[in-house]
Amino acid sequence: MILILLGAPGAGKGTQAERLVTEYGLVQLSTGEMLRSEVKSGSELGQKAKEIMESGQLVPDDLIIKMISVRISQESDAEGIILDGFPRTTEQAKALDIMLKEKDLRINHVIQLEVNEEEIVERLSGRFSCTDCGMGYHEKFSAPANKGICDKCKSTNFTRRSDDSPKTLRNRLSAYKEQTALILPYYSTKGCLKSIDGMAEMDIVFDEIKKVIDGD
Ligand code: ADP
Ligand code: ZN
């Protein structure tokens, strides 16, 4: 199964993807996460992507397409793949169609998480994650049960994303509106697009996604 999660920065794609991995045993491919680890490792790709990501713009299509196609090939035996943060441009959406066709795969669902922009700023400015296991948290909405200790792995090390600053966030939102939102009609014409209210509580959003997957 190929599932695409679409939505503005902060819509909750990463959070929902993590839950889907647990529930359905799917593999999550997040281009944002991949790029952050490229930056961390100081690879050639990471060096090219670093400044672009810090400014909140999109990394060039050719780099992204190359990076993700390698991973999709590696995961071709998986139960299913969740694409989180990809595609983000029409060019990427077209390249994905070609990649999948070559592997005899198809997109089962494209799920759009719809959110309100002002609330997104609040969501993103409070988020952080566990440095050791990557578990995502939010100061207000989903803090660890014991302050300062990761629920999942008990680590006490947490990190914040450097691109969650207000200025970069504005750029990320405009990149979404000007480039990524354009692919919504592409998928709605294909008949595989479902929109879900991403402002609802996390559990409700998750239930709605499950309904789409289970075909209810
Ligand atoms: P979010 O969706 O919360 O903004 P991501 O973690 O998905 O964050 O992505 C972080 C940054 O990585 C983006 O702002 C962009 O610079 C880059 N990026 C991630 N995925 C893509 C993509 N498919 N195409 C271009 N740039 C990307
Ligand atoms: Zn942890």
* pLDDT tens digits for range 170-181: 899 999 999 999
Whole-structure pTM value: 0.87
Q: Give the model's pLDDT for residue 124.
A: 85
Please state the atom number of ligand 1 nearest to the C-alpha of residue 172. Answer: 14
Q: What is the mean pLDDT of the chain?
A: 93
Whether pLDDT at 79 is above 90: no
**Average of per-residue pLDDT across 3-22:** 93
Question: Is the per-residue pLDDT at 186 higher than 80?
Answer: yes
Q: Find the mean pLDDT for residues 91-105.
A: 95
List 81's β-bridge partners, or say none. 2, 27
The per-residue pLDDT for 165 is 84
Is ligand 1 within 6 A of the CB of residue 86? yes
Q: Is the distance from the beta carbon of residue 65 to the nearest atom of ligand 1 less than 6 Å?
A: no
Tell me the three-class secondary structure of 61-125, residue by residue. HHHHHHHHHHHHHHCCCCCCEEEECCCCCHHHHHHHHHHHHHCCCCCCEEEEEECCHHHHHHHHH
Q: Which tens digits make up the pLDDT trace of 111-166?
A: 999 999 888 888 888 889 999 999 999 998 899 999 999 999 999 999 998 888 88
Shortest-distance atom of ligand 1 to CA 13? 2
Assign 107 a pLDDT band (cuts: 50, 70, 90).
Answer: very high
**Ligand 1 centre from 86 Cα, in Å?**
8
pLDDT of residue 216: 66
How far is residue 13 CA from its own chain's centroid?
Answer: 5
For the CA atoms of 101, 104, 109, 114, the dihedral, rounded to the nearest 10 degrees, stands at -40
Whole-Å CA distances, 93 to 6, 11, 90, 185, 208: 12, 20, 5, 11, 24
| Residue burial 94-110, b: 16+ Cβ < 10 Å; e: rest | ebbeeeeeeeebebebb
